Amino acid sequence: MLAAVAPRRWVFPQPPDSAAVHRLCQELRLPPVLCGLLAQRGMAEPVAVRGFLRPHAGQLHAPALLAGMGDAVARLRRARERNEAVLVHGDYDVDGICSTALYTRALGMMGLRAIPFVPHRLVDGYDLSDAGIAEARKWGATLILTGDCGIVAHDAVERAAAAGIDVIVTDHHTAGPTLPAAAAVVNPNRGDCGYPEKGLAGVGVAYKVCCALAAELGFPEERLHSFLDLVAVATIADLAPLVGENRALVRWGLKILPRTPNPGLRALLRVTGLAGKEITATQVGFVLAPRLNAVGRMGEALRGVRLLLTDDEREAEKIAATLEEENRWRQSVDGDTLRSALTQLETQFDPDRDRGVVLAADGWHPGVIGIVASRVVERIHRPTVMIALDGGNDGKGSARSIPGFHLYDAMRDCSEHLMRFGGHRMAAGCSIRPDRVDAFREAFDGRARSVLEDDHLFPQVRVDLELELHQADEELARLIRHAGPFGMGNATPVFAVRGVRLAAPPKLVGKGHLKLTLGAYGHTLDAIGFGMAGRLEEPGFFDGPLDVAFKLEENTWNGRTSPQAKLVDVRTAGNRE
């Protein structure tokens, strides 16, 4: 099996300013390690720390600051006054599914006739297209409201207009040089938008639109707060940065989620075993979101929308069970596709030559190539495009990147070889004719060569703080949670301890996982390294002192909670690479 290109390099920042840490400890009565972490992340003043640890409504920006919001609200108000049918058109990923459900429920509460629609990935393709226009005509809708899509759908917007249907585009993906000729375009990333929070997910934009409409209609905005669970799930799933406004929305949404009023989310929590528990961003990202994503990846995403829209508990249970089955199928297809991709890499990939990688094959399921592209990037640390070919039909591509390489810009620069493309810095999609794949591969690698320096090609372990082993205790594990939710832009802290030894022999647990008991000066800490069992095959690796990079978590087993190190990397002590 293909190994990683190079060992991971550990990067240690400069220690935080000791005076700032002392000031935080004194004024906030927090332990030095937590204060050091906060200062390390740019929060050296008590006021900033208080606002970070306890987000408040004052951190939210006025929806009216979003360019195009006035036009969008005016058109929606007119639709309400005229009792027009509004087709809510989402995308088929979690962000699009949640945006569609949020719009449909919220607009309905405010007196509009909203009809949900999400395209079928394998039949209709991506984005607003003829399928959405046909659905609008079927229902007699004279307005299409997009969620998480539409920013590059110029032709479809024009075809809708020709059919007598207005379009409001709400999206967050990178805009092209011109905007669609829609009734309104709301996107914090359009070039003329001065909205302070550029990192809103599509669902965040949808929530802002609903808040602006509520203010226009005199509808109580607090009634929309119950939808923050959907905002949290989609923002996390879409890897939007969990800073600023996003962080506040997700923090509040995660508090709602365990007691969600949404029957579909309640059913999903039950089927995943999370019902009745405090939900973290990690659990959303790795447990809930994949099940919602699975229906869109493997077939009809509208089932995910129906789950989030039903008020019937029995129907919710049935759909949630279907999502669980789809996710198991998706995992099986993922595994097959990854093995196929790695086989290609064995013969085609040269780490000394290739900086941008394009893999293509007939028979790959287009619904899983994005996930597999992420796993390929984990192995080789190169921006990667996976293309699912379908005989002589157009191929569908999905791409994932590494820090330092902007995928959307790369796709734009290679667009002469593509039929269509869209996305953002770290993820993108495209469609391509089979006879253009080789030329695209060459152009994509050329773009990567022009951008990526040698240092970009080595995966890094970025350590936040060095600790003594005894400092990684239960209190720190508990307090760290208050610095969450963790995700893009607010990564889970990584700590490092140097020169520790094993207090017990290493063990192989589960399917390829490594269990260690770290020891130093009479203190011990249990550690788990997922997928790290291969280290047991390195002769003598655990005989001497080790440096360990880890995330500190609370682990509950048989009713007892204790701190546990989730290993990020382990190396022989003294290695300075």
- DSSP 3-state of 420: strand
Neighbours of 531 (CB within 10 A): 11
The residues facing 146 across adjacent strands are 89
pLDDT band at 52 (very low <50, low <70, confident <90, very high): very high
Please tell me what DSSP assigns to residue 60: S
Total H helices, total E strands in the chain: 20, 19
Q: Which residues contact 18 (CB under 8 A, 6 or more apart)?
A: none
Decide if 406 contacts 423 (C-beta within 8 A): no
Q: Does the pLDDT value for residue 339 go beyond 70?
A: yes
The residues facing 497 across adjacent strands are 548
Decide if 230 contacts 262 (C-beta within 8 A): yes
pLDDT band at 541 (very low <50, low <70, confident <90, very high): confident
- Could you write out the DSSP letters of every residue in 101-121? HHHHHHHHHTT-EEEEE---H
pLDDT band at 4 (very low <50, low <70, confident <90, very high): very low
- DSSP 3-state of 9: strand
192, exposed or middle or buried, with CB in 10 Å at 0-12, 13-18, 19+?
A: exposed
Question: pLDDT of 247-291, one tens digit each?
Answer: 999 999 999 999 999 999 999 999 999 998 899 999 999 999 999
Decide if 234 contacts 203 (C-beta within 8 A): yes
Decide if 34 contacts 476 (C-beta within 8 A): yes
Q: Does the pLDDT value for residue 1 go beyond 50?
A: no
Strands (E), 320-392: 357-362, 384-390
Q: Which pLDDT score, from 0 to 100, does residue 117 have?
A: 96
| Mode of pairing for the β-strands spanning 184-186 and 166-170 | parallel
Decide if 49 contacts 16 (C-beta within 8 A): no
Neighbours of 166 (CB within 10 A): 21
pTM of the model: 0.87
In 3D space, the residue among 308, 408, 298 whose CA is nearest the CA of residue 101 turns out to be 308
Q: Which pLDDT score, from 0 to 100, does residue 260 have?
A: 97
Counting Cα atoms < 13 Å in the Cβ hemisphere of 311 gives: 1
Residues in the chain: 577
Backbone φ and ψ of 4, nearest 5° = -65, 155
Tokens of 242: 């969990």
Count Cβ neighbours within 10 Å for each residue of 402-437 and write b for 16 or more, e otherwise. beebbbbebbbebeebbebbbbbebbbbbbbebebb
d(C-alpha 389, C-alpha 422), whole Å: 18
Tokens of 381: 């640390």
d(C-alpha 62, C-alpha 424), whole Å: 24
What's the mean pLDDT in 198-225? 97
H or E element: which one contains 519?
strand 513-520
Neighbours of 106 (CB within 10 A): 25
88, exposed or middle or buried, with CB in 10 Å at 0-12, 13-18, 19+?
A: buried
Please tell me what DSSP assigns to residue 278: P
| Mode of pairing for the β-strands spanning 465-466 and 546-557 | unpaired
pLDDT band at 223 (very low <50, low <70, confident <90, very high): very high
d(C-alpha 204, C-alpha 222), whole Å: 16
More confident residue, 538 or 564: 564
Question: pLDDT of 468-486, one tens digit each?
Answer: 999 999 999 999 988 999 9
Decide if 232 contacts 105 (C-beta within 8 A): no
d(C-alpha 345, C-alpha 297), whole Å: 24
H or E element: which one contains 504?
none
Question: pLDDT of 380-433, one tens digit each?
Answer: 999 999 999 987 788 999 999 999 999 999 999 999 999 989 888 888 999 999
d(C-alpha 32, C-alpha 21), whole Å: 7
- DSSP 3-state of 33: helix
Going from the N-terminus, what domains does the chain have, and what CATH number goes with each? 9-54+463-572 (2.40.50.460), 59-323 (3.90.1640.30), 349-457 (3.10.310.30)
d(C-alpha 220, C-alpha 46), whole Å: 34
Helix residue ranges, H only, 140-201: 154-162
Tokens of 507: 């063990």
Q: Which residue has the tokens 């829209």?
A: 309
pLDDT band at 107 (very low <50, low <70, confident <90, very high): very high
Q: Does the pLDDT value for residue 576 go beyond 70?
A: no
Count Cβ neighbours within 10 Å for each residue of 360-391 and write b for 16 or more, e otherwise. bbeebbbbbbbbbbbbbbebbbbbbbbbbbee
